[in-house]
Amino acid sequence: MHIVITGGAGFLGARLARTLLQQGRLSLAGAPPQSISRITLVDRAAPPADLEADARITAATGDLNEQLARPEAAFWREADAVFHLAAAVSGECEADFDLGMRSNFAATHALLERVRALGTKPVLVFASSLAVFGDSPEQPLPKVIEDHTLPTPQTSYGIQKFIGEQLVADFTRKGFLRGRSVRLMTVSVRPGKPNGAASGFFSGMIREPLAGLRAACPVPDATPVAIASPARTIEGILRAAEATDAEWGPRTALNLPSLPTTVGDMAAALERVAGKAAGALLDRTPDPAIMRIVKSWPGHFETARARALGLAADRSFDEVVREYVRENPDAIKLPGVA
């Protein structure tokens, strides 16, 4: 089996690749599991060293739109499954409209057209976002987002992701591919450096204090957030690829499970795991631009459809923080944290 991951050198893409390599096999849409012989990672950046060293990994380095335009790129023709994770993130898309449209809309459309031309109907999993739901005075969100709640995006990023969902649904309806769109929750705690996402501080407010560094916490403590750990996020992405058509159900995107919490509760969990010295490193200076984006996102989901697929949310944010500590011991510099 050959798998293509766009955004494959990024945090989630690399984690997905490692998980697939460790499993060694994958069942697509209910078919018998097949051995994974090759994974192509498409990204602007080179893969992490551990992945680059694996003989099953091939890197296609460069802009996704340019990679899709290359007729000689044979790896597209050989793909049994495509995980489309590449995207410009929320803050970038608000700051640069053209970047978002090129990276999120045009690239997704070009990818679907490239897959359509294969004629092989591969499984394609599209990483959408909770940002397809947005609150506004004209159309307030319900207190709980359910599987049938109408998306009402309030950012360019959310709109671009919703367009992607609809394109995947229609290409699936026409029989060009077997598309599965999953709406990712706010993933925390992400290791590594901050990115341009408006949600980036949800990881930074945990990651940086654990490294002994100050971190921005630019929204009020009462701000709600729907959290999913990296492990639960990868579980959801893989389950989307594995589910039979009957299990998957409608072509609409799937809301992945989330842990409902608040920024204040996250800060409290940080202190419970790492002590008051960690909490003292949080900078509570408000950022109106971040607040404007984040406050429009929902914080509570009821995900019956995901539960029917066997997916579950994290049990507590304390456990999420402890999972990050266990997985990233070299990044923990604050004394007394283990």
**Residue positions annotated with a catalytic role:** 157
CA distances from 145 to 131, 280, 293 (A): 12, 34, 18
Bridge partners of 182, per DSSP, are 127, 254
Answer yes or no: are the C-beta atoms of 7 and 44 closer than 8 Å: no
Answer yes or no: are the C-beta atoms of 89 and 196 closer than 8 Å: yes
Query: Cα separation of 174 and 195, whole Å?
Result: 36
Tokens standing for residue 68: 């899709």
Compute, in degrees rounded to 10, the torsion defined by CA atoms 295, 297, 298, 299: -60
Answer yes or no: are the C-beta atoms of 27 and 33 closer than 8 Å: yes
174, exposed or middle or buried, with CB in 10 Å at 0-12, 13-18, 19+?
exposed
Tokens standing for residue 289: 């631009």
Tokens standing for residue 263: 């920024």
Strands 224-228 and 259-262: what pairing? antiparallel
Query: Cα separation of 323 and 269, whole Å?
Result: 13
